[in-house]
Copies of this chain bind each other. A is one copy, B any other.
């Protein structure tokens, strides 16, 4: 049975999953890289990007890496909001730009990109981006077919995750709370009052200072 899983979604202690003022150069806005500094030293990140593996000795293998690694296992497709593909709004004006992820994106599966603006399917390396104007339910049904018996990762951003949570489609939700006060940006938890009633919750504090929350949908 295909599960819909959210992994490594970082929020500040005041609940913002991204900052204010997103641009091409600053995908997290004024948050900069602060929501992801827990992730960068991990073996999972280092081995994904490659380029500074030697500098950090192959990366850490503690609890932050364990959670990062878990996100890679058993995934057959991803769903993401358009903002995770690129910063453009409105109709696609430059289809030659192939997203934020370079020539070998780290997904290696079909990726459903939610957008109101049609665009041909786009293979990049081992990843194929499928641009679809779809409801959460429709997107999940499509991704589940693409995943071919494996699970589907819901890759964000926060607005998309919130929509899928509101539609009660998420089976596994891994949130990383970073001990910073961002003050402004996009809130993850808005509109999700009493969310915890639908999930079992497990909490693990990391020596890095972040806290890993695992929400597992109640049977």
Contacts and interface: CB of A to CB of B under 8 A. Distances in A.
A168 interface: no
Contact of A179 (B184, B187, B196): B196
- Copies assembled: 2
Contact of A213 (B179, B183, B190): B179
Task: Give the interface size bracket for A toward B.
Answer: 20 to 34
Nearest to A204: B205
A203 interface: yes
Contact of A193 (B182, B187, B194, B196): B182
A45 interface: no
Nearest to A196: B180
A145 interface: no
A204 B205 CA distance: 6
B183 A193 contact: yes
